[in-house]
Structure 1
């Protein structure tokens, strides 16, 4: 049965460190659909028919197709009766969206505006919570999900964050700058007075884990009030604070190859990337980086002439 095949496939890949929460839901939905059509093996026609029933963006549909292709290859290695769907011809034309790189002034405006968000009279923590949350993501390059799952016990002595089992079930230690530690300590004192019963560093009004949807809504509201990129059709995201952190760090590499290599390895580890190639994507075309690239090119030309 295809449903049993999904169980085997997901279990095996989780042993390798993958979480696959969304992938599991997607594959189970396809298996239910295919079984309803009387399929005992993966059929390319059933894959295409199922994708037509899925209400999502073209990018999400392409990701679901990729997941099904990997699943089909896994089963085809055992039983050649399983068909491997062809990759969508339009998928290769889709590009990963370029993140919005905030300026230092824009980040300051975000934090200033977050400190003025509307709150209930009894909710004294809401303003400092969002200032600390957005500031921590910007200053440490955390994923939003990593920040929201932080507990008090995850704050180690010396201002080191213990990020537990994030992508690929990896944990890591994230040291904070002294200025961030000072702000965090001030927030912790207020946090203990206002929501002492909750274990979460950034609790909801009900003292539960703060929902990402709530955070995204609050961030969009802050951007609108701060007047940041109002002309853009695609509004900047809170996750772009992480991209900004990585990009600004790489800007400090300069043009010396050894320095660049050390920065890349350190940054990849700090961000929790499983592959350093994921860090290369942060080489955004900021003016500073373009200047460094030009300087490096001039040095290279000069060496060849000499």
Structure 2
């Protein structure tokens, strides 16, 4: 079933569950998000529209309707914030190929750039993943693949094991609507994949020996989905961050995806190539990473350049 055929309530529930698991959002915050998004969904339903088909003009019309209704500026800003967050979530999940509200600004709000990680922080995470007990090979493989490919978390945890066979130089990623893209693997990612796959296959052979069917997923789980869940992976990556000494609030699968893009760009990679590997439909979406890089370079200059320090003393 595609995202477009899911009821809007399903979109809202999935978004709220992600907020609870990934950002540890407070219950009152979740309730407020839920109320605001259900109001927007009701307005769309009356117009026979769906989250999957909303355009920027529709959201702008809704905000005008909220103003006409006499809602306070703070309430309107909160509703727009909730709408922007669910569409950012939908875009990251691959439910939509675009983000229809990326150009709409909340009054008084600065443009938000994606958080990312430094090369040293990523290295610390990868090092820590190698010392996580029985699941070390799996955990290292998860992080190496995520950083090497920039996959969305759902694409990563649902990877079929067939995509990893044969020590691949490229891995096939299935995105929104069944669209496929090929992403190259770095040597460290390939090495961790080969090591983990041997361990995974040995475990699957044990299960088959006692009558259990073999999993089709690269990262199998005993849960209902049959694969490692996004929620468990979010918890896992926070545990690794704590072990690595990297601030926990900085580390999510999305920040590793952003690190993949910004580090490639800093290394001279072509923006169109990064667009293809991230699975962005429009290069304009990928261009935000140039702003992240600009901001990072500015920060480096202001922090380390002797003239910048001299001007601060005046």
Q: TM-score w.r.t. structure 2 length?
A: 0.60
> What is the deviation of 1:23?
2.7
CA–CA separation in structure 1 for the residues paired with 2:289 and 2:183: 19
Residue aligned with 2:183, SS: strand
Per-residue Cα deviation, 1:153-181 (whole angstroms, up to 9, x for no partner): 123654322222x2344222222234422
Q: CA deviation at 1:209?
A: 0.5
Deviation at 1:276, TM superposition (A): 1.9
Residue 174 of structure 1 aligns to a residue whose secondary structure is strand
Query: Unpaired runs of 5+ in structure 2?
Result: 14-27, 50-60, 67-74, 81-104, 206-213, 302-314
* Deviation readout 1:181-221 (Å, 9 max, x if unpaired): 23322221222123343322112366931111111111111
| Paired residues of 2:9 and 2:38 also in contact (CA < 8 A) | no
Deviations 1:45-90 (A, max 9, x none): xxxxxxxxx9727666665555555544446xxxxxxxx7425731
Does 1:225 find its partner at 2:235? no
What is the RMSD of the two structures over their aligned residues, measured on CA atoms? 3.5
Greater relative contact order: 1 or 2 (C-alpha under 8 angstroms, separation 6 or more)? 2
- Aligned residue pair count: 226
CA contact (8 A) 2:140 2:192 kept: no
Shift of the alpha carbon at 1:131?
Answer: 0.7
Q: Is the 8 A contact 1:141 1:241 kept in 2?
A: yes
Higher percent of residues as helix: 2
Residue aligning to 1:187: 196
- Does 1:272 pair with 2:279? yes
TM-score normalized with structure 1 length: 0.61
Please name the residue that 2:217 is paired with.
Answer: 200
Identify the residue that residue 30 of structure 2 maps to in structure 1. Answer: 56
Out of 168, 175, 184, the position equivalent to 1:175 is 184
On the 8 A contact 2:181/2:279 being kept in 1, the answer is yes
Q: Could you tell me how far apart the structure 1 residues matched to 2:226 and 2:9 are?
A: 26
User: Highest Rg: 1 or 2?
Assistant: 1
Q: Which residue in 2 is equivalent to 1:99?
A: 114
Q: Distance in 2 between matches of 1:101 and 1:183?
A: 23
